[in-house]
């Protein structure tokens, strides 16, 4: 692929792949176009260029966006021709990627399953997949429900909340900090750092370095004192990960698991509040929460684009000439919208979407992520049955990320709480091996109606309520 053409050049030079691409300048995959109306952008690119479109990731940094469903499957299943090793990228090798580029945190090579092919990829993937498989799903559901109820109980009595800032963004960290064996107070700082480099903000490079420093310390401590957590299990795996490999894979688990879960929860709740058909089929029992979440993955997957693959040689994909070293971005949202894969009955209950990727690099964290999001949505629907959007749907704003599909906020109104299921005093709780002491503070009542007998908080606050209270500034 050639460099973008000067605006004064009316016609691409002979031999340029833009001749075959339909002409014109590569579309920017950054800025308002990709955050405000990505579906419209992908439709226009598909109409102009077909299933593979030329794009810019930054001014002067070109790539290809794969929008076709069969083309994306071909891309992800052909490791020999489309490698995960970002060191092949021509743009970086030619010195055209700035030292402070916002793309670096998402494209820089690391010794992880995301950047390797073949046997080495399989070794590292087995370590991550086996570690995640050790999660007790029943315990995870109990843990997530307890965290969700603690957050909801912490909301004020005025009947308003922001479901992104006060729920979707906090809930996964309450779960993942415990799963990984991180100290509770690390949660809010970690999510701030993750947001910076996933959004490719101006602070992304520094945030990425600080994020990894926290995990280096965690690995060091868990080498010395193993616990019943994902970090300890990863270090003990027979694959024999080095400390460096373990740190980088904790980054993968936290970013993939946490960021995806946040966005999936937020996008599901937005659809619930803005799409009458979706809400009526869900609350009326005609659609399970699990099926509803798959519809969200088709329509607004939490990761809309993902870097990437790098061509190992000159080839053709989707009618476009791809040069060795070109970067190809997985257009997950665009491929899901490919008209070729949508039948006359729509997509209800269909899990053939590409939200998790495909091939050998398909996301290994999808099952715990699904369980967390299912529990988050079910708990909220039970606790706040009259939940409604507080602003017109058109006023909702999206984060300016080329990779994530994530709302800035989701303000809601509600009139009353329903008590937790079962009563808080009877619910099982999970206390971590190194749980911090409970707070002496007494949270204020967050209900606008009397609680049923036995539904109040126990005298001694659980670990979840202490942590959720800290999140809420109590």
pLDDT (tens digit per residue) in 29-64: 998 888 889 999 999 999 999 999 999 999 999 999
Q: Which residue has the tokens 């684009």?
A: 305
Domain total for the chain?
Answer: 1
- What is the pLDDT, as a whole number, of residue 198? 60
Q: Does residue 7 lie in a domain region?
A: no
Q: What is the pLDDT of residue 67?
A: 97
User: Which phi and psi (to 5°) does residue 176 adopt?
Assistant: -70, -30
Tens of pLDDT, residue by residue over 235-280, are 999 999 999 999 989 888 887 778 899 999 999 999 999 998 888 8
pLDDT at 343: 64
Choice between 416 and 309, residue whose per-residue pLDDT is larger: 309
What order of strands is seen across the sheet that includes strand 327-330?
27-28, 52-58, 61-66, 327-330, 306-311, 82-83
Euclidean distance between the first and the last CA atom of the chain, given in angstroms as a whole number = 55
pLDDT band at 344 (very low <50, low <70, confident <90, very high): low
Q: What is the mean pLDDT of residues 335-362?
A: 81
Q: Cβ–Cβ contacts within 10 Å for residue 209, how many?
A: 12
Residue 11 lies in a domain: no
Cβ atoms of residues 49 and 21 within 8 Å: yes
Q: Is 3 domain-assigned?
A: no
Contact 370, 98 (CB under 8 A): no
Residue 122 in any domain: the answer is yes
Which one, of 340, 341, 337, 314, lies nearest residue 325 by Cα? 314
CATH of the domain at 27: 1.10.630.10
What's the pLDDT score for residue 203? Answer: 74
The fraction of the chain above a pLDDT of 90, given in percent, is 53
Q: Average pLDDT of 412-419?
A: 86
132 in Cβ contact with 368 (< 8 Å): yes
Q: Which of 256, 249, 197, 255 is nearest to 222 (CA)?
A: 249
Q: Please, which residues bridge with residue 388 across strands?
A: 413
Query: In angstroms, rounded to a whole number, what is the distance separating the alpha carbons of residues 457 and 445?
Result: 10
Cβ neighbours of 442 (radius 10 Å): 11
Provide the 8-state DSSP code for 259. I
> 3-state DSSP helix/strand/coil percent for the chain, to nearest 5?
50, 10, 40
Q: Which two tokens stand for residue 47?
A: 């109409």
Q: How far apart, in Å, are the Cα atoms of 301 and each of 63, 129, 265?
A: 21, 22, 10
C-alpha torsion sign, points 366, 369, 375, 377: negative
Identify whether 435 is part of a domain: yes
Question: Is the separation of the CB atoms in 131 and 233 below 8 Å?
Answer: yes
**CA 299 – CA 316 distance, rounded (Å):** 29
pLDDT at position 79 is 93
Helices (H) and strands (E) in the chain, counts: 19, 11
Residue 243's contacts (CB-CB under 8 Å, 6 or more residues apart) are: 216, 219, 220, 223
pLDDT tens per residue across span 84-120: 999 999 999 999 999 889 898 889 888 889 999 999 9
Quote the mean pLDDT of the chain: 82
Label residue 268 exposed, middle or buried (CB < 10 Å: 0-12, 13-18, 19+): buried
Q: What is the pLDDT of residues 188-211, one digit of tens each?
A: 777 777 767 666 566 777 887 888
Q: 126 is in which domain, residue-wise?
A: 17-471
Is a pLDDT exceeding 70 seen at residue 291? yes
DSSP 134-171: TS-HHHHHHHHHHHHHHHHHTS-TTSEEETIIIIITTH
Q: What is the pLDDT of residue 12?
A: 39
Model confidence at 17: pLDDT above 80: no
* The predicted structure's pLDDT at residue 453: 35
The predicted structure's pLDDT at residue 10? 36
Q: Is 330 left (phi over 0), alpha (psi -120 to 50) or beta?
A: beta
Tell me whether residue 10 is in a domain. Answer: no
- What is the percent of the chain where pLDDT is above 70? 80
Does residue 11 surpass a pLDDT of 50? no
Span 159-187, pLDDT tens digits:
999 999 999 998 998 898 889 988 767 76
Of the listed ranges 184-198, 347-361, 418-432, the one predicted with least confidence:
418-432
Q: What is the pLDDT of residues 434-449, one digit of tens each?
A: 333 333 333 333 333 3
Phi and psi of 315, rounded to 5°?
-160, -175
Predicted confidence (pLDDT) at residue 227 exceeds the cutoff of 90: yes
Residue 1, domain member (yes or no): no
Residue written as token pair 């009458």: 276
Determine the pLDDT at residue 259.
Answer: 84
Q: Given a cut of 50, is residue 338 above it in pLDDT? A: yes
Assigned domain for 26 exists: yes
Q: Is the backbone peptide bond immediately before 308 cis, with ω within 30 degrees of 0?
A: yes
Predicted local distance difference test score (pLDDT) of residue 4? 38
Cα separation, 234 vs 433, in Å, equals 18
| CA pair distance 199, 44, nearest whole angstrom | 23
């Amino acid at each position: 692929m050639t460099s973008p053409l000067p605006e004064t050049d009316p016609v691409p030079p002979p031999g340029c792949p833009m001749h075959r691409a339909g002409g014109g300048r590569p579309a920017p995959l950054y800025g308002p176009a990709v955050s405000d109306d990505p579906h419209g952008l992908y439709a226009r690119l598909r109409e102009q260029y077909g299933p593979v479109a030329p794009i810019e990731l930054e001014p002067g940094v070109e790539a290809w966006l794969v929008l076709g469903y069969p083309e994306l499957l071909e891309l992800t299943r052909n490791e020999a021709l489309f490698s995960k090793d970002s060191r092949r990228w021509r743009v970086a090798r030619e010195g055209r990627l700035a030292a402070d580029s916002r793309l670096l945190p998402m494209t820089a090579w690391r010794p992880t399953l995301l950047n390797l092919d073949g046997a080495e990829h399989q070794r590292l993937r087995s370590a991550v997949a086996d570690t995640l498989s050790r999660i007790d799903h029943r315990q995870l559901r109990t843990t997530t429900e307890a965290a969700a109820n603690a957050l909801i109980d912490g909301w004020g009595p005025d009947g308003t909340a922001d479901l992104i800032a006060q729920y979707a963004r906090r809930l996964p960290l309450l779960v993942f900090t415990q799963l990984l064996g991180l100290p509770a107070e690390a949660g809010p700082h970690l999510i701030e750092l993750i947001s910076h480099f996933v959004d490719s903000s101006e602070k992304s490079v520094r945030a990425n370095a600080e994020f990894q420093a926290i995990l280096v310390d965690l690995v060091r401590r868990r080498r010395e004192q193993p616990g019943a957590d994902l970090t300890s299990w990863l270090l003990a795996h027979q694959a024999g990960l080095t400390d460096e490999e373990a740190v980088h894979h904790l980054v993968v688990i936290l970013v993939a698991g946490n960021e995806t879960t946040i966005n999936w929860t937020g996008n599901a709740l937005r659809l619930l509040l803005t799409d009458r058909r979706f809400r009526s089929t869900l609350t009326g029992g005609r659609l399970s929460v699990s099926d509803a979440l798959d519809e969200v993955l088709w329509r607004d997957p939490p990761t809309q684009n993902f870097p990437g693959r790098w061509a190992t040689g000159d080839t053709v994909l989707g009618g476009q000439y791809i040069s060795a070293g070109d970067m190809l971005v997985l257009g997950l949202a665009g491929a899901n919208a490919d008209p070729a894969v949508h039948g006359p009955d729509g997509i209800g209950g269909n899990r053939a979407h590409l939200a998790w990727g495909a091939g050998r690099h398909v996301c290994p964290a999808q099952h715990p992520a699904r369980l967390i999001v299912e529990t988050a949505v079910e708990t909220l629907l039970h606790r706040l049955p009259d939940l409604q959007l507080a602003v017109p749907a058109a006023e909702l704003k999206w984060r300016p990320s080329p990779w994530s599909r994530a709302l800035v906020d989701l303000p809601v109104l509600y009139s009353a709480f329903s008590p937790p299921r079962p009563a808080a005093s009877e619910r099982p709780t999970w206390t971590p091996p190194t749980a911090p002491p409970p707070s002496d503070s007494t949270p204020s009542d967050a209900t606008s109606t009397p609680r049923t007998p036995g539904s109040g908080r126990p005298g001694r606050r659980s670990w979840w309520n202490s942590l959720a209270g800290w999140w809420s500034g109590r």
